[in-house]
Structure 1
Amino acid sequence: MAVFMNEQIRASEVVLTGLRGEKLGIVSREEALGMARTQGADLVCTSLMSSPPPCSLMAKGKAKAAAQKEAASARKAAPGQAAGKSGGKEKVKELRFTAHIEEHDYETKLRQADKHLRSGKPVQLVVQASGAKEAAAAKTVLERLVADLKEAGVKETGLQTGGKGSKVKLNPR
């Protein structure tokens, strides 16, 4: 839910509620903003579904803190809800590579991918390329990774190649 405060409110008139919940009726936006300033408060609108929108005066900072808290709890609840609906779908570990990766870096990332796959977790392998010349190198690195990980994982998607690089998702065997 979006919270609009002070100058973000664009309606010419608002239905205003005071600091202690008293109904102040329909007032102009400028008058409501003036009242908020004189009382050291914020003018807060949580719904734009009606005309004029309902707004209330709130202690300075309370509305923003409440909105942040609500957004945080929504983010926290979202992964759990999604997992419940889709049958426990887990997060995919993404490992990023560059098209011209050093051998020891390649080996390190390969071990990480192997470890995740063997523990039963899917892996998304992304090879970044900065241009058309590197795109072929990116695809080569990705094909090598898939070949090296064939005992631990199986491709869910084919090699996906785009302007910024290539990617593939591997599921555990």
Structure 2
Amino acid sequence: MIMNEKIKASEVQLTGVNGEDLGIVSTAEALAMARKLKVDLVCESLMSSPPPCRLIASGAAKQAAQQASKRDRPAKVKEIRLTPRIEDHDFETKAEQAHRILLAGDSVLFTVRIQGKEGQQAKELLERLIRELKPSGRPATGIQLSGKQAAVQLNPLSI
């Protein structure tokens, strides 16, 4: 986002604080108007000539840019490892941790290490986790049993 003195165009298409069209004005005049009103001059796009600029309350432009970049970031996949014979308290801790991750907008990959004939226990554990986390996430795929591990990925509901 290009703001205030960083705008290099000689003239801009200016929009006021309340959305009113102020027409094409010189950049120096637009900056003077922004200083007088104690707001920021923000360039919305450099693709047109003259570039469209807007007068926005100080700080609101940065906040809007941060929220836009937060929405644009790709979701991360965070892995949580478990064992089939997990204690109830540890299970609740892992489920709460996964719940927080899902609410933050990231995906969770549960991986259960299997030794011997623990495949059915691992599958039941993952099914229990899916049921517990139903309000905050949904499975991306089914439970995958392969070799020495079982896995399932949960995506947040907002994706």
TM-score, normalized by length of structure 1?
0.48
Instruction: For residue 138 of structure 2, give the secondary structure of its aligned residue in structure 1.
Output: strand
Q: Which runs of 5+ in 2 are unaligned?
A: 1-71
Match of 1:165 in 2: 149
Identity across aligned pairs (percent)? 47
Match of 2:101 in 1: 116
Match of 2:131 in 1: 147
Q: Is this contact kept in 1: 2:75–2:105, CA < 8 A?
A: no
Aligned equivalents of 1:94 and 1:119: distance in 2? Answer: 15
Match of 2:140 in 1: 156
Alignment deviations for residues 18-75 of structure 1 (CA, whole Å, 9 cap, x no partner)? xxxxxxxxxxxxxxxxxxxxxxxxxxxxxxxxxxxxxxxxxxxxxxxxxxxxxxxxxx
The amino acid that maps onto 2:130 is V
* Distance apart, 1:128 and its partner CA: 1.1
Aligned equivalents of 2:84 and 2:149: distance in 1? Answer: 8
* Distance apart, 1:88 and its partner CA: 4.4
Match of 2:86 in 1: 101
Q: Is this contact kept in 2: 1:135–1:163, CA < 8 A?
A: no
Match of 1:128 among 113, 116, 127: 113
TM-score, normalized by length of structure 2?
0.52
Instruction: Choose between structure 1 and 2: higher helix proportion.
Output: 1
Instruction: For residue 135 of structure 2, give the secondary structure of its aligned residue in structure 1.
Output: coil
Query: Are 2:53 and 1:89 aligned?
Result: no
Aligned equivalents of 1:121 and 1:109: distance in 2? Answer: 15
Q: Which runs of 5+ in 1 are unaligned?
A: 1-86
What is the aligned residue count?
Answer: 86
The amino acid that maps onto 2:150 is S
